[in-house]
Chains A and B, each alone.
Chain A
């Protein structure tokens, strides 16, 4: 669209919106490197607060838990989501019911899925912990992997699958040797997206992790900490978490141009 709308007004709007979007997080990042840790006085650049993080065992164990949850749920979701995407795209016939089920995990409010899973696990008398968080995270992760892989499959050349079958390859061989290698960038992009979503996910983890201290994930730890105010340690932790998500998602988008949901 090339409307000759007043360029100066457009520039003002863009500057204001970008300032609104970036000032809060920039302040946070800057403060995390402030020696004094105070928001009002800059006493010099320091990585001291990052060092303190490493000695806080609550934070390191929460980070480890998050890593376990994210890695395991990403692996499971990538496998299930990729197979689902391939199956749906081969099927061609579009079923409304099927589409709804696949789309649902992305739009159900987190809080509803969270309490539904909590009720489900407790009625079945399942002891809750990291394993229940993993089972729950796979639900939305597989939907996101599936949507990324499906987007790429729209431009997939199915004739190479036919060629492989004609040459006598079994379905499993065709999948492993033909479809997966071609789709690998999209699959990795989906996995990276799932990994980030899982690392950042708070509400579902909060409800399905059980009461034990040893199944606290990083977002749960952050939530508990920020309820009681601002500390330089949280600034550093928040900066790190933000850096990890932005890195992983930028990488994911690089791998799969235009394939992220909403784009």
Chain B
């Protein structure tokens, strides 16, 4: 069964993916260039208006806001996740699998549930307010839930385990002798980290950052639940075009931009990974 059978084995799945993924995605691509009908339908005439509308100050502002929140969440997740991965990689070898398992375990539970857990903590009658009252804080609490900060916390919380995994992989493969050599040559601990360990673990950082950024910028669940409709992100905007505003062509244009951002970042990430592995090959 080595020669022509693979085609028959692959055909059903590839057919499924073609019908229910490739064609729908191409459809969205086409939709982005059609006009919106007067009553919310689709008028089949070519236009670039939808893509132009994305750069309208109103929508460009939402894009910038989303990019800011996604970038902030990704940066925080990478810093915290890297520190955690470093600490796990520095733990005794026999304990590492267990630590990693428990770091990733929350990632396996339902996204909505994990987000809801923060509503429980942050809401007006929630645990944090309760603890503050117990500690004798009687003044008006600042609003914790339904804020930008709550959205960022939610995103970091949800995606942190992935960043830990992504950063742990290159850290665990590091040869300890390299760090030793650096120290023997007189570099301080911090300098060894910055000049030796950090550059060699860039692929993990890039993967983690891109993953969190991409998932955050298109997210509509977390802004809806923890942001409470205080502000819109691209995900909410796409959602609204399809389910309330009924402007499908514009929604399609927005998601094309999302895909564009994602592909651009993934290319950058591949580039970063290849450069890092190239550098390693030159060293050895």
Q: Mark B224-260, 1 if CB is under 8 A from A, else 0.
A: 1100000000010011001100001001100100110
Give a binary string over A17-28; 1 marks a CB under 8 Å from any B CB, 0 the rest.
110111111011
The answer to whether A13 touches B87, judged by C-beta atoms less than 8 angstroms apart, is yes
Q: Which residues of B contact A199 (CB under 8 A)?
A: 110
Docked complex: A36-75 residues within 8 A CB-CB of B: 38-40
B108 touches A202 (CB 8 A): no
Contact B120 A31 (CB under 8 A): yes
Interface residues as binary, B74-85 with A (CB distance below 8 Å gives 1, 0 otherwise)? 000000100110
- Asked if B7 is an interface residue, CB under 8 A from chain A, the answer is yes
Instruction: Kindly identify which residue among A109, A111, A113, A242 contacts B113, using a CB–CB cutoff of 8 Å.
Output: A242
Chain B residues 82 to 114 lying within 8 A of chain A, measured CB to CB, are 83-84, 86-91, 93, 99, 102-106, 108-114
Report the separation of the CA atoms of residues A22 and B109 in the bound assembly, to the nearest whole angstrom. 12
> In the complex, how many residues of chain B place their beta carbon closer than 8 angstroms to a beta carbon of chain A?
93
Q: Is the CB of B160 within 8 A of A21?
A: yes
Interface contact B22-A238, CB-CB below 8 Å = no
Q: Choose from B90, B120, B220 the contact partner of A111 (Cβ within 8 Å).
A: B220
Could you tell me if B20 and A136 are in contact, using CB atoms closer than 8 angstroms?
yes
Pair B14/A84 contact, Cβ less than 8 Å? yes
Contact residues of A between 92 and 147, Cβ < 8 Å to B:
98, 101-102, 104-105, 107-113, 115-120, 123, 135-136, 138-139, 142-143, 146
* A88 located at the interface, meaning its Cβ lies under 8 Å from any Cβ of chain B in the complex: yes
Q: Which residues of B contact A110 (CB under 8 A)?
A: 218
- Which among B47-55, B58-66, B168-176 touches the partner chain? B168-176
| Interface of chain A: mostly helix, strand, loop or mixed | helix
A203 to B215, CA, bound (A): 13
User: Residues 166-177 of chain A: 1 if any B CB is under 8 Å from the residue's CB, otherwise 0?
Assistant: 000001001000
Residue contact B262 to A139, C-beta cutoff 8 Å = no
CA distance A196 to B113 in the complex (A): 14
In the assembled complex, the CB of A28 is this many whole angstroms from the nearest CB of chain B, namely: 5
Distance in angstroms from A39 CB to nearest chain B CB is 5
Q: Are B9 and A84 in contact (CB under 8 A)?
A: yes
Smallest beta-carbon distance B84→chain A, Å: 4
- Smallest CB separation, A134 vs chain B (Å): 11
Q: Which residue of B lies closest to A243 (CB)?
A: B109
Instruction: List A contacts of B21 (CB < 8 A).
Output: 101, 104-105, 108, 113, 116, 139
B268 within 8 A of A: no
Report the minimal beta-carbon distance from B172 to chain A, rounded to whole angstroms.
6
Give the bracket for the number of chain A residues in contact with chain B: 35 or more
The reply to whether B262 and A107 contact each other, CB–CB distance below 8 Å, is yes
Task: Chain B residues near A246: list those with CB within 8 A.
Answer: 105, 108-109
Is there a chain A Cβ closer than 8 Å to B277's Cβ? no
Is A14 interfacial (CB 8 A cutoff)?
A: yes
Q: Is B139 an interface residue (CB 8 A)?
A: no
Among residues of B, the one whose C-beta sits closest to the C-beta of A239 is: B113
**Listed residue (B103, B110, B162, B221) with the most chain A CB atoms within 10 angstroms of its CB:** B110
Q: A88 to B10, Cβ gap below 8 A?
A: yes
Asked whether B6 lies within 8 Å of A88 as measured between CB atoms, the reply is yes
**Smallest beta-carbon distance B41→chain A, Å:** 11
Residue picked from A13, A81, A104, A165, most chain B C-beta under 10 Å: A13
Interface code B152-195, partner A: CB below 8 Å = 1, 0 otherwise?
00000100111011100001111010010000000001000000
Asked if A83 lies at the interface with its beta carbon under 8 angstroms from chain B, I say yes
Contact check, B28 vs A116: say whether CB atoms are below 8 A apart: yes
Question: Is the Cβ of A109 less than 8 Å from the Cβ of B262?
Answer: yes
Question: Which chain B residues numbered 35 to 57 have a C-beta less than 8 Å away from chain A?
Answer: none
Question: Bound complex: CA of A28 vs CA of B235, how far in Å?
Answer: 27
Interface centre among B20, B88, B160 (most CB of A within 10 A): B20
Are A5 and B235 within 8 A (Cβ)?
no
- Whether the Cβ atoms of A116 and B5 lie closer than 8 Å is no
**Chain B residues whose C-beta falls within 8 Å of the C-beta of A18 in the assembled complex:** 102-103
CB distance from A124 to the nearest CB of B (A): 10
Q: Are A111 and B130 within 8 A (Cβ)?
A: no
Q: Indicate which residue in B5, B113, B117 contacts A222 across the interface (CB closer than 8 Å).
A: B113
Chain B contacts with A in 1-38, Cβ cutoff 8 A:
1-2, 5-10, 12-14, 16-17, 20-25, 27-28, 31
Q: Which of B7, B23, B239 has the most CB of A within 10 A?
A: B239
Is there a chain B Cβ closer than 8 Å to A183's Cβ? no
Whose C-beta in chain B lies nearest to the C-beta of A39? B127
Q: Of all chain B residues, which has the CB nearest A211? A: B243
Of the residues A22, A112, A117, A136, contact of B255 by C-beta under 8 Å: A112
Among the listed A17, A138, A171, A196, which residue makes an inter-chain contact with B16, where contact means beta carbons less than 8 Å apart? A138
Q: Given A111-B238, A139-B21, A3–B221 Cβ distance below 8 Å?
A: no
- Those 8 A-B pairs whose CB atoms lie nearest each other, nearest first: A87-B9, A116-B24, A84-B13, A87-B10, A24-B117, A120-B24, A109-B218, A80-B13
Extra 14 A-B pairs, beta carbons < 8 Å, given A13-B86, A17-B87: A17-B103, A25-B113, A40-B130, A84-B10, A88-B6, A107-B266, A116-B255, A118-B242, A120-B20, A171-B5, A196-B108, A222-B112, A238-B112, A245-B108
